């Protein structure tokens, strides 16, 4: 497996004049390193405000350059993305890297038929004319097990259920057989049973095309069955990473433990769930120590003084915690 994506020291910050009193700059991503091999799947787990969406949007360079500052290196197949012109980026978006968003309804133009929009995307990404693109699109839909695609093509977005639309969006995203698919909370707005179908669709397509996957989510439960590796983000930094199943069975960072505790387990009915007190730090804040310290159950003096670096704790496992070696955290095993 070769290295597909390598991110080093990625930082993303937004200008926010409304918060001038607090510095005026919202630092959403504060330096992350990530490596993804081709055909690998990685879960990026974090809650709102963790910076996960800002990070993946930076990979596709979707931020507004007038208001956003992105620094650090993002290399796709060895090519440095930050050095590319907008024209070159357009060649990459939709072709080498594709993205699927949370709410499919807002990703489509409400006044155009779904079929036309799918055909357009396919024709652009594969360089075909409209008619061939349409044929290709129909074929893709049929292969994905969507019943009567021709009838669906003639309808408008609002006539579809969220699940159906999301399937369409995934197929569009994968139309050009990209090397990397980024799915940003693709199932959060959908029902459970549809969630399964969507995730299975992504999985099947991935296997067939050999596409790598970054699955952004706040739900640890979704992660388990669908990804090989996982990285947990908190306050703009990666606090833990490793193989998904290992991380879930035995987390090394107190925040990961907290996230797992928040999942109601069968058989513990009536028991209070262990929760994480307090709130995530504001994006404007610049505390000296570990960003999780104020809420950490295991906090000690050194935690408040210095930000822990992401270091290797075991093969393939990294964690950013001063006390990682001493702590014996509880997973879901």
Partner 1 sequence: MSLLEAIGLRKAFPAGRTDLLGRRKDSLRAVDGVDISVGEGEVHGLVGESGCGKSTLGRILLGLIKNDGGCVYFMGRDIEEFAREDEDRLRSGMQIVFQNPYSSLNPRLSVGSTLREVVRVTSRRNASASAGRDDASRRVDAALDEVGLPRDVLPRYPRELSGGQLQRVGIARALLVRPRLLIADEPLSSLDLSVQAQILNLLAGLRESRGLAMLLISHDLRVIEHVSDRVSVMYLGRIVETGPTDELFSGALHPYTRALIASASDPRRALNRKTESAVLPTMMGEPPDAINLPRGCRFATRCPYRMPRCAQEEPDLLDAGGGHRSACWLLA
Q: Which of 35, 75, 196, 299 binds partner 1 (CB under 8 A)?
A: 196
Distance CA 195, CA 102 (A): 12
Region of residue 94 (phi > 0: left; psi between -120 and 50: alpha; otherwise: beta) = left
Helix (H) or strand (E) holding 22: none
Closer by beta carbon to partner 1, 200 or else 208: 200
Smallest gap, in angstroms, from Cβ of residue 184 to partner 1?
A: 15
Task: List the 237-243 sheet strands across, edge first.
Answer: 97-100, 180-184, 212-217, 41-45, 229-234, 237-243, 317-319, 311-314
223 binds partner 1 (CB under 8 A): yes
274 binds partner 1 (CB under 8 A): yes
21 binds partner 1 (CB under 8 A): no
200 binds partner 1 (CB under 8 A): yes
28 binds partner 1 (CB under 8 A): no
Cα torsion for 124, 129, 135, 137, to the nearest 10°?
10
Closer by beta carbon to partner 1, 240 or else 261: 261
Distance CA 24, CA 284 (A): 7
Closer by beta carbon to partner 1, 271 or else 328: 271
Please list every residue from 78 through 117 that binds partner 1, using CB under 8 A.
none
Distance CA 185, CA 217 (A): 5
285 binds partner 1 (CB under 8 A): no
1 binds partner 1 (CB under 8 A): no
Q: Which of 2, 48, 66, 129 binds partner 1 (CB under 8 A)?
A: 48
299 binds partner 1 (CB under 8 A): no
Q: Which residues contact 173 (CB under 8 A, 6 or more apart)?
A: 94, 98, 99, 100, 181
Q: Which of 276, 303, 320, 324 binds partner 1 (CB under 8 A)?
A: 276
Smallest gap, in angstroms, from Cβ of residue 145 to partner 1?
A: 8
Sign of CA dihedral 117, 183, 103, 168: positive
Smallest gap, in angstroms, from Cβ of residue 125 to partner 1?
A: 27
Closer by beta carbon to partner 1, 91 or else 264: 264
Closer by beta carbon to partner 1, 124 or else 332: 332
224 binds partner 1 (CB under 8 A): yes
148 binds partner 1 (CB under 8 A): no
Strands 97-100 and 25-37: unpaired
Binding mask 155-194 for partner 1 (x = CB under 8 A): ------xxxx--------------------------xxxx
Q: Do 255 and 239 touch, CB atoms closer than 8 A?
A: yes
Closer by beta carbon to partner 1, 122 or else 283: 283
- For the chain, counts of helices (H) and of strands (E): 12, 12
CA distances 6 to 33, 38, 131, 206, Å, are 8, 11, 38, 20
Smallest gap, in angstroms, from Cβ of residue 162 to partner 1?
A: 8
Task: Return the bridge partners of 93, or none.
Answer: 97
327 binds partner 1 (CB under 8 A): no
Burial of 10 (0-12, 13-18, 19+ CB in 10 A): buried
Site residues (vs partner 1, CB under 8 A): 47-48, 145, 147, 161-164, 191-197, 200, 203, 218-225, 245, 248-249, 258-266, 268-270, 272-276, 279, 332-333
């Amino acid at each position: 497996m070769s290295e597909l994506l390598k991110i080093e020291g990625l930082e993303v910050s937004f200008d926010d004049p409304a918060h001038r009193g607090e510095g005026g700059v919202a630092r959403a991503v504060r330096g992350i390193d990530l490596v993804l091999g081709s055909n690998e799947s990685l879960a990026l787990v974090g809650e709102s405000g963790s910076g996960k969406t800002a990070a993946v949007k930076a990979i596709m360079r979707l931020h507004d350059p007038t208001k956003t500052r992105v620094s650090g290196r993002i290399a796709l197949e060895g090519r440095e993305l930050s050095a590319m012109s907008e024209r070159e980026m357009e060649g990459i978006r939709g072709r080498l890297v594709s993205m699927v968003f949370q709410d499919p309804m807002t990703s489509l133009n409400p006044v155009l038929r779904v079929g036309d929009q799918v055909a357009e995307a396919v024709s652009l990404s594969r360089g075909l004319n409209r008619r061939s693109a349409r044929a290709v699109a129909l074929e893709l839909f049929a292969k994905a097990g969507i019943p009567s695609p021709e009838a669906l093509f003639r309808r408008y977005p609002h006539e579809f259920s969220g699940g159906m639309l999301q399937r369409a969006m995934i197929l569009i995203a994968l139309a050009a057989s990209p090397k990397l698919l980024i799915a940003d909370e693709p199932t959060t707005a959908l029902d459970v049973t549809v969630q399964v179908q969507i995730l299975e669709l992504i999985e099947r397509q991935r296997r067939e095309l050999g596409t790598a996957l970054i699955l952004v989510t706040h739900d640890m439960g979704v992660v388990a069955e669908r990804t090989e590796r996982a990285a947990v983000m908190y306050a703009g930094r990666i606090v833990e990473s490793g193989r998904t199943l290992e991380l879930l069975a035995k987390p090394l960072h107190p925040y990961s433990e907290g996230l797992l505790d928040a999942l109601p387990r069968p058989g513990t009915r009536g028991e209070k769930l262990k929760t994480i007190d307090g709130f995530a730090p504001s994006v404007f804040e610049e505390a000296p120590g570990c960003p999780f310290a104020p809420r950490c159950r295991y906090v000690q003096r050194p935690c408040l003084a210095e930000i822990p670096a992401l270091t290797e704790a075991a093969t393939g496992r990294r964690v950013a915690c001063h006390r990682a070696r001493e702590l014996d955290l509880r997973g879901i095993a």
